[in-house]
Amino acid sequence: MATGRPLADVLAEAERVTSAAIEAGVYVARLTADDWGLYRTLQLNTQRLRTMVTEVPVDPTLVVQRLDDLWRSIDAKPKSLRWRLRARVGDRMSWYELPEEVRQPYQAEG
């Protein structure tokens, strides 16, 4: 190999990263199956990411593939009754709270 790393080390690292990604996807799927607001927020941000992925120096095909894998995992997870009821209401009712005031991190309280 050109880098001098043994092939076994490279494969072990790839397996570790893949395993971590799978575990994270399972975790996110579990969270979004219970919380429609989190599901919807993730859905909106994922849509934005899909449109902007070509503007950053990454492999857009890989990013889209991983997003597709994540959403397959999310969609396959059974949703709670509370989730399904909230999904019926949808975007007609806000699922998040905006802060009354946005304060800069180092701005003194006044």
Q: What is the pLDDT of residues 86-103, one digit of tens each?
A: 999 999 999 888 777 765
Residue 86 neighbours by CB under 8 Å, 6+ apart = 36, 37, 95
For the chain, the domain total comes to 1
pTM for this predicted structure: 0.71
Contact 91, 40 (CB under 8 A): yes
Distances (CA, A) of 66 to 18, 53, 63, 102: 11, 12, 5, 33
What is the residue range of 63's domain? Answer: 8-87
| Residue 41 counted as domain residue | yes
| Residue 93 counted as domain residue | no
pLDDT tens, 37-74?
A: 999 999 999 999 898 888 888 888 888 988 999 999 99
| Residue 3 counted as domain residue | no
Question: What 3-state class would DSSP assign to 5?
Answer: coil
